[in-house]
Structure 1
Amino acid sequence: MKYVLFDVAGTLLYKPSLYVKMEEVLRQYGFLVDPQTLKKNHKLLSEAIFFPDRTNADFYRHFNRELLYSLGILPTDEMLDAIFASCSYLPWEKFGDTTFLEQIEVPVGIISNFNSTLKEKLKSFFDVEFSDVFVSEELGVAKPSLDFYGKALQQIGIPASEIIYVGDSIKLDLEPALQLGMKTLLIDRDGHFPLQQNRIDSLTDLNKWL
């Protein structure tokens, strides 16, 4: 393989305090939710609901309402406001296994449904020099659109069959990348998708594909 392309949110970066904050709010309203169930439902819902480049209060009210329904909780406006207030602007952190990026000897790129602040965020977390950073807000098209991936492939200039794409979403990452001929790997650290054959538990597993 001649190039590795990565998603960002859920693949390289995450917000470790998100579920803790949600649990705290739900507990205040008398709901004791199993942490793993909360995490899994949140992940599965993220496969079904499209995240815009720049999220806002209305989006998260909608998303969290659906999340509460999935947990068997009847949402109220007060509860939704409390979740939003508690979970807004939480800090990003990098996954521990992202240190493996420093061992990759072929060019590494980024493709993400994110806003224009992504490039500076990446610099604050990684010493790795990314050959390309494709951001949906800047290109005017987003995952899972094939146009987004097509524009990235055109700029990279390497045949799709020589590229490994790593992401955490079957719908947004694996499906479109596969359609364009890339080799795809699902990073599934929590084992939410055991039926997916092209999955890895850690980025260190990439070593066998390079």
Structure 2
Amino acid sequence: MLKAVLLDVDFTLVRPGPELGPEGYRRIGARHGLTLDTARHEQARHDAVAKLQRHPDLVHDEDLWIAFTVEIVLGMGGSEPAARACALDVVRQWERHENFFLYEDALPALEALRARNLRIGLVSNGQRDLEEFARHHSLDVDVCVASMSHGRVKPHHSIFQAALAALDAEPAEAAMVGDSYADDIEGARALGMRAILVDREGVFADEPDRIDTLLALPAALGLPPVPD
């Protein structure tokens, strides 16, 4: 029987606002004397993802995120040494809770899980205080496990295990919900959890356990109707 649901945060429950997009990079770049081309942002980010080399033991390492952001700045037309200073400012923006907006389906999905008496946990990679983030966005959850405080990033098994232990649930009694196939889905399944892919853009059309909106989550989990 399902006892707990773990959820990713970025691009699952929340989306980044303008300060974290092309215009945000342009504005921050200008403060560092850089002229960044917003039209090159998408390709620059794609190229940075391809170059990203995680720690072999999946240790949370802020320097990796800074290096990743430097690559985006350079790809948008920036140059060293200003690119690193610019990247540091961008990374700091990812730590600001107000720079993110809830998807419209986020709170209704959490309410639907609560209505069925399920325990809820957030599991996230990144540079932020996840508990403060949850409070800021009024996310009704029981536990928050962030890679920054935990020390390992998804898909390392220990970050999922830490959340499950806090929720007093075994892998077979829990499900993971997230937008990253490699981090969320494969990581959870390797531990014996069920996993639901949030595929808002329809990239993984052939994935059987996928939804394009969190409103479909109760049905995807096979949850019974809420009693009257």
Question: What range describes the TM-score normalised by the shorter chain of this pair?
Answer: 0.7 to 0.9
Q: How does 1:2-81 map to 2 (within 5 A)?
A: 2-17=3-18, 18-19=20-21, 20-22=23-25, 29=35, 31=37, 33=39, 37-38=42-43, 41=46, 45=49, 48-50=52-54, 55=62, 59-67=64-72, 76-77=79-80, 78=82, 81=85
Kindly report the root-mean-square deviation, in angstroms, between the aligned alpha carbons of the 2 structures: 3.6
Given the alignment, which residue of 81, 95, 100 partners 1:92?
100
Aligned to 1:166: 177
Aligned to 1:109: 121
- Classify 1:168/1:49 alpha carbon distance in 2 versus 1 (closer, same or farther; 3 Å): farther
TM-score normalised to structure 2 length: 0.69
Q: Distance in 1 between matches of 2:51 and 2:12?
A: 14
1:123 lines up with 2:135 in the alignment: yes
Equivalent residue letter for 1:180? L
Provide Cα deviations, 1:41-93, integer angstroms capped at 9, x if missing partner: 28x828955497574xx545521344468x6x665224565565467426222
Equivalent residue letter for 2:68? F
Q: Residue 96 of structure 1 aligns to a residue in which SS?
A: coil
In structure 1, the gaps of 5 or more residues are: none
% same residue: 23
Contact 2:70–2:87 under 8 Å retained in 1:
no
TM-score normalised to structure 1 length: 0.74
Aligned to 1:207: 218
- Classify 1:158/1:126 alpha carbon distance in 2 versus 1 (closer, same or farther; 3 Å): same
In structure 2, the gaps of 5 or more residues are: 224-228
